[in-house]
């Protein structure tokens, strides 16, 4: 097992982000264990294995954001047990390609969002990687969710109230004594 210290964390994250910034999916995958688990809300599902990580970046992420750049915002945070690292990042890119799945059309606009990423290592390679981001803000940037306070947002809120009312009614009907 690899014990993570500050020099290792800095060096590893530099290599990881350099491979993303250079748009090199195979170099990115080479930093992962063969059986890596990669959880990313932008991916269609949890990625299992190097090939899935390379495929996601090569065939989904890089075509959607061909000029994507990752920037480390803070020094990495080391886990107390010495097996992991957390980092806060800013990701920026122009959405000139579709994000498929789920099938979002390219906007041509620049997306900028922050992530928190949590990584666990085994034998100096990435064994488990979890990306957390504000999907609501990202959805607003690509136009999948209307800006707060607009008529479209108010209609959406009304629809949610109707849906919640129906869900409560179904639950009451299901739990009613026979």
- Encode 50-107 in three state secondary structure: HHHHHHHHHHHHHHHCCCCEEEECCCCEECCCCCEEEEEEEEEEECCCCECCCCECCC
pTM: 0.85
pLDDT in tens, 50-95: 999 999 999 999 999 999 999 999 999 999 999 999 999 999 999 9
Contacts 24+ apart (CB under 8 A), 133-138: 133/41, 133/42, 135/41, 137/113, 138/111, 138/113
Right CATH for 6-145 from 3.40.190.10, 3.10.450.50, 3.30.470.20, 3.40.50.2300: 3.10.450.50
Whether the pLDDT of residue 101 is over 80: the answer is no
With tokens 């390379």, the residue in question is: 54
Radius of gyration of the chain from its Cα atoms, rounded to whole angstroms: 20
């Amino acid at each position: 097992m690899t014990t993570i210290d500050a020099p290792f964390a800095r060096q590893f994250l530099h290599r990881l982000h350099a491979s993303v910034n250079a748009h090199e999916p195979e170099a990115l995958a080479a930093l992962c264990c063969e059986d890596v688990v990669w959880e990313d809300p932008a991916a269609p599902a949890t990625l299992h294995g190097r090939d899935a990580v390379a495929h996601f970046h090569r065939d989904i992420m890089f075509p959607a954001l061909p000029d994507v750049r990752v920037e480390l915002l803070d020094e990495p945070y080391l886990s107390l047990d010495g097996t992991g690292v957390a980092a806060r990042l800013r990701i920026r890119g122009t959405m000139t390609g579709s994000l498929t799945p789920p099938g979002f059309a390219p906007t041509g606009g620049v997306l900028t969002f922050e992530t928190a990423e949590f990584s666990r290592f085994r034998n100096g390679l990435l064994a488990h990687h979890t990306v957390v981001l504000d999907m609501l803000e990202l959805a607003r940037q690509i136009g999948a969710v209307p800006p707060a306070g607009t008529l479209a947002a108010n209609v959406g809120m009304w629809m949610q109230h109707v849906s919640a009312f129906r869900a409560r009614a179904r639950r009451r009907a299901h739990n009613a004594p026979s």
